Amino acid sequence: MTDAYVALEDGRVVEARARAPGRTRGELVFTTAYTGYEESLTDPSYEEQILTFSYPLIGNYGVREERFESDRVHPRGVVARDLTEDVAEWLENEGVPAVDELDTRDLVTSIREQGAMKCGIAAGPDATAADAEVELDACKAMSDHTDIGSRVSIEESVTYNPDGDGPTVALIDCGAKGSIASSLVERDATVEVVPYDATVADVEAVDPDVLFISNGPGDPENFEAAAALVEEYVGDTPLAGICLGQQVIANALGGETEKMEFGHRGVNQPVRDLRSNKVVMTTQNHGYTVAEPGDLEVTQINVNDDTPEGLESDELEIITRQYHPEANPGPHDTLGFFDDVLALADPPSAEH
């Protein structure tokens, strides 16, 4: 049954079946993960994107809120070969258009060959190919979403584990996955999650032992407030970052970032540590990367394309990772990163 249309930047319009009705647009990307669709769909880093699942069956173990990484679905639309009723109903309730019964292998190959592309979707009984093309024409490039942080960040600060015996971490919420705060709390840290546009005064009120820049969607150059915090605290307070956080920190310290052709999204990305020569498997979700590390040393690289996966500075007390050490979904090879982050902190003061 054809009652949905996917219009692509390369000029094609692909017919599909509507599973959650509506019209939407965004950057078409894909993930290679076999599992973890609940975590992926609630990952804020997918804001303003259309998520295509390369694995054919999505929803084969239901939908459970305890696996969510945030309080809502973030992709603007969802494309799969086959969505179960559970997932289709969830997406419809969330107001996120979804389609299936199309050749996702062909879509993934197109993205691999041409890069992530703009996309428009129209789904439902009255949908037409022209509707999808209208959405495509209105789609903006990811770098043009200059206010994307406001759609994924908290509005007011939240404290987790206020009575913890470990260091106090100021987590700058640029679209943080819930598992990042959980991983720090599990190590008895006190985590103060603050908005993406927090000021120096906001962070001073936290008096953190570590300043941590989270993951998030879009172009790192659009997160100017977070970069300003890095510039303010570098050399005085240890700094850490994951994904977008690595990119923001690099930009703030004289480095450069660039958009990747199709990014890294999946749970089997191999990363090599340049010091130990050890290779670990990692979970990743990003479309930008560090092109020049600035004042930082590249300590880990992606085995597939040599892009930087870890940046560090012993002198400045900085450690960042491009991948997601907290996984969810994915391998737990790199959970020790959070121990390394907390080890950067000075012994917490009495009020902590």
Dist. CA 267–CA 334, nearest whole Å: 12
- Our measurement of the distance from residue 204's CA atom to the centroid of its chain's CA atoms, rounded to an integer in Å, reads 27
Q: Is 45 annotated as a binding residue?
A: yes
Listed in sequence order, the residues at least 6 apart from 22 whose beta carbon sits closer than 8 Å to its beta carbon are 95, 96, 97, 121, 123, 124
Within the chain, where are the H helices?
Answer: 37-41, 85-94, 104-114, 129-138, 178-185, 200-206, 224-233, 244-252, 336-343
Q: Is 244 annotated as a binding residue?
A: yes
Strands 168-173 and 22-31, by their bridges, are unpaired
Catalytic residues: 243, 324, 326
pLDDT tens, N- to C-terminus, the chain (352 residues) = 799 999 999 999 999 999 999 999 999 999 999 999 999 999 999 999 999 999 999 999 999 999 999 999 999 999 999 999 999 999 999 999 999 999 999 999 999 999 999 999 999 999 999 999 999 999 999 999 999 999 999 999 999 999 999 999 999 999 999 999 999 999 999 999 999 999 999 999 999 999 999 999 999 999 999 999 999 999 999 999 999 999 999 999 999 999 999 999 999 999 999 999 999 999 999 999 999 999 999 999 999 999 999 999 999 999 999 999 999 988 889 999 999 999 999 654 444 4
Dist. CA 103–CA 118, nearest whole Å: 18
* Element of type H or E holding 171: strand 168-173
Listed in sequence order, the residues at least 6 apart from 276 whose beta carbon sits closer than 8 Å to its beta carbon are none
pTM of the model: 0.96
Q: Is 266 annotated as a binding residue?
A: no
Q: Taking a C-beta distance cutoff of 8 angstroms, is the pair 210, 252 a contact? A: no
Q: Is 255 annotated as a binding residue?
A: no
Dist. CA 216–CA 47, nearest whole Å: 8
Dist. CA 36–CA 87, nearest whole Å: 12
Q: For the chain, how many residues are written?
A: 352
Q: For the domain bounded by 4-140, which CATH number is listed? A: 3.50.30.20
Dist. CA 331–CA 321, nearest whole Å: 15
Dist. CA 258–CA 226, nearest whole Å: 18
Q: What is the CA radius of gyration of the chain?
A: 20
Within 17-59, where are the H helices?
Answer: 37-41
Amino acid letter for position 194? V
Q: Is 288 annotated as a binding residue?
A: yes
How do the domains of the chain map onto residue ranges? 4-140, 148-343
Domain 148-343 has CATH 3.40.50.880: yes
Q: Is 274 annotated as a binding residue?
A: no
> DSSP string spanning 268-283?
EEEEEETTT--EEEEE
Token pair belonging to 213: 């820049």
Q: Taking a C-beta distance cutoff of 8 angstroms, is the pair 320, 242 a contact? A: yes
Same fold, 4-140 and 148-343: no
